[in-house]
Structure 1
Amino acid sequence: MKSELRALPPLSRLKPFEAAARHENFSVAATELGMTQTAVSKQIVLLEEEMGVPLFERRNRAVFLTDAGRRLGRVVSASLSEIAAEVAVLRGSRRSSELVLHCQLCEAFYWLMPRLARFHERHPGTALRIVTSVNPLTDSPETFDVAIQTSGRASGTARLAFTASDDVFPVCAPSLLPVGKHPLSPDALLAFPLLSHLVIPQDWMEWAEWFENVGTPTPRRPRLIPFDSYPLALQAAVAGQGIALGWRRTTESLIEEGKLIRPCAEFVSRPTEISVFRGIMRNPHPETDKLLSWLTEEFAT
């Protein structure tokens, strides 16, 4: 054991690496640790040299974990979390008994909440706390047991449990179109303002990609109205401000209530659009598997 411990990299390198792996961002890690971005980058380069493998892929002023980096990140994150938990116990504070589910705001509001009563009926003694965000999982300020977000968004060292499908199609308020004038062809949508959720990086489907998938060329300058979150774009569509891209799981209740309609029949099927993750804690909440099992059933229906 002593020889194995001697082979460990210095903690001064593991802490910057863990933070950078969790956020997939050197600058955010530096801010969290009170270091400069240059210092974080230097410690990670030294760690990569010691390991003999690249832990991050650098491209276009962004960093992405390699497979080796993700594997090491999970181990280091879990180990440091376990140390922090034990320190908290020794200091007289313990982890809350709540099961924590981190969820994107729109999925939480439109998809999860209408179904949550079924989970509590099945597991009446489980205290479940929902944490919502419009930001990627790597921006979460607290630990979680299970998380739900759009596939392709930064997830850091979280462990993928399973993926679920979704369909993407245009939606708008019924008042936006004259009675009897739909379904429209995809190119006819270009006559209307297109409500757009633009983020950097663009980590989910946008109008240009949707039109490409349904075989419709888009003009160089379509009439886009940008929003900084999907929930805002969806509410703008409900208010009749234009046509938004909607995801089936988050718009089905609005369509059933008559607040939104599908102005055209075309849609893009995404078989792994939603990802469900486990947290990285070595000692997870004892009822984590119950929540994952329930989510698997709900996504299947």
Structure 2
Amino acid sequence: MRTRTLYRNIQRLLPTFEAAARHESFTLAGEEVGLSQSSISKQMMELESRLGQPLFVRAHKQISLTPAGHRLLRAYGFAASQVIDALEDLLQESSRTQIVLSTSTANAAFMLLPRVAEVRECFSGGQIFVVTSDPQGLESSGQVDLVLSFGRPDLSDFKSRPLFRDILTPVCSPDFINKNGALRGIDDLLDCDLLYMQAQHLTWIGWRQWLRHFSFELPKNHQPMGFNSYYNTIQACLAGQGVALGWLRLLGDPLRSGQLVTPLPEFLETEDQYHLAWPVDRRPELAIEPFERWLWRQYGGSIPGFTPSKTERIGSPVTSGL
């Protein structure tokens, strides 16, 4: 308690110190803060006494800072600039419209981040703050205005609007094909290095379920490589390390550029859909319709490099991400 009182007594003298140090004059500092030259001098003597060392070199009608004075002025200036920045942020927050958009790391990495400028245009006139949370993309702080998720959000206090389904088919890099040869059928996958993301939610579909739909099972001695992030799974796939199960709505850019290819014609369409969701007790301050139209235009249509000949749907898995 005594230490806190000491610091408070020192802190009250700091604005006066800063004025005197900046002007190098007790008289000019007094004019700025509304005190006499003698009052300023007394306060600086008190501050020096409490710190146990001089802050000013006093000459005839002139003062200058000691090394200790320079050190204190630098520290005070740094702290003051942080306070000013915080004040500006608070003032701007009170006058601007902000939307907190929550989504999964995969959705953010593959859908939103490559097209930040376009996303901004969807929320013209407001600030967008993107937060990521896995597995579904629903950040639980209570501050979320809008959610982009795959599957209907689990929380009952969110209202959701369905968007489009996804297409699942194996993907790999051209280098992987060049090194290992073309895949002639699904059974060739069983001899490949399969990359997978560990399932974290019932909406996630993995290799076991995909293969079983076509009447194949992973061999018991098969050792696929797993990740806890779909982004990392695809990065390994891009590096030619194996074959991943591609969620093609997410992978439009690497498919369009040829970084990834779909080596087999077999595919499945998910029963679950992507959703936009928002709290039932409030709509986002900014209109969500432009963002919804953009999602449909960018991701809801045809998939580059992939033309399905028929549709087979697959429901949600009940076990691991393999």
Band the TM-score falls in, shorter-chain normalisation: 0.5 to 0.7
Whole-angstrom CA distance in 1 between matches of 2:180 and 2:227: 30
SS of alignment partner, residue 108 of structure 2: helix
Contact 2:105 2:137 in 1 (8 A): no
Match of 1:126 in 2: 126
Q: Look up the match of 1:70.
A: none
Q: What is the percentage of aligned positions where both structures have the same residue?
A: 24
| Equivalences, count | 209
Alignment partner, residue 219 of structure 2: 219
Structure 1: gaps spanning 5 or more residues: 1-92
AA aligned to 1:215 is S
- State the TM-score, normalizing by the size of structure 1: 0.60
How many angstroms apart in 1 are the aligned matches of 2:94 and 2:104? Answer: 27
Deviations 1:27-76 (A, max 9, x none): xxxxxxxxxxxxxxxxxxxxxxxxxxxxxxxxxxxxxxxxxxxxxxxxxx
Distance between the aligned counterparts of 2:130 and 2:232, measured in 1? Answer: 20
Question: Hey, what's the Cα distance between the residues in 1 that align with 2:138 and 2:114?
Answer: 26
Deviation at 1:216, TM superposition (A): 2.5
The one-letter code of the counterpart of 1:128 is I
| Secondary structure at the counterpart of residue 175 of structure 2 | helix
1:262 and 2:262 correspond: yes
Q: Which residue is 1:236 aligned to?
A: 236
Paired amino acid for 2:261? I
Inter-partner Cα distance in structure 1 for 2:163 and 2:192: 34
Q: Which amino acid aligns with 1:219?
A: P
Q: Which has the larger radius of gyration?
A: 2
Q: Distance in 2 between matches of 1:196 and 1:222?
A: 13
- Asked if structure 2 preserves the Cα contact closer than 8 Å seen for 1:214 and 1:268, the reply is no
> Which residue does the alignment assign to 1:30?
none
Matches within 5 A, 1:1-301: 97-121=97-121, 124-151=124-151, 154-155=154-155, 157-178=157-178, 181-201=181-201, 203-282=203-282, 284-301=284-301
Cα shift readout 1:148-203 (whole Å, capped 9, x = no counterpart): 12216644532111231110111112222237942431110111111111134554
User: 1:127 Cα deviation (Å)?
Assistant: 2.5
Does the CA contact (< 8 Å) of 1:100 and 1:131 recur in 2? yes
**Contact 2:203 2:272 survives alignment (8 Å):** no
TM-score of the pair, normalised by structure 2? 0.56
Across the aligned residues of Structure 1 and Structure 2, the Cα RMSD in angstroms comes to: 2.8
Deviation of 1:285 after TM superposition, in Å, equals 1.4
**Structure 2: how far apart are the matches of 1:95 and 1:208?**
52
Work out the CA distance in 2 between the residues paired with 1:130 and 1:261.
30
SS in 2 for 1:249: coil
SS at match of 1:178: helix
**Cα contact 1:165–1:269 (8 A) shared by 2:** yes
How far apart, CA to CA, are the structure 2 residues paired with 1:137 and 1:252?
A: 20
Q: Which residue of 1 aligns with 2:57?
A: none
Long gaps (5+) in structure 2: 1-92, 302-322
Q: Closer, same or farther in 2 for the Cα pair 1:153/1:189, shift >3 Å?
A: farther
How far apart are the structure 1 equivalents of 2:122 and 2:227?
Answer: 38
Shift of 1:245: 0.8
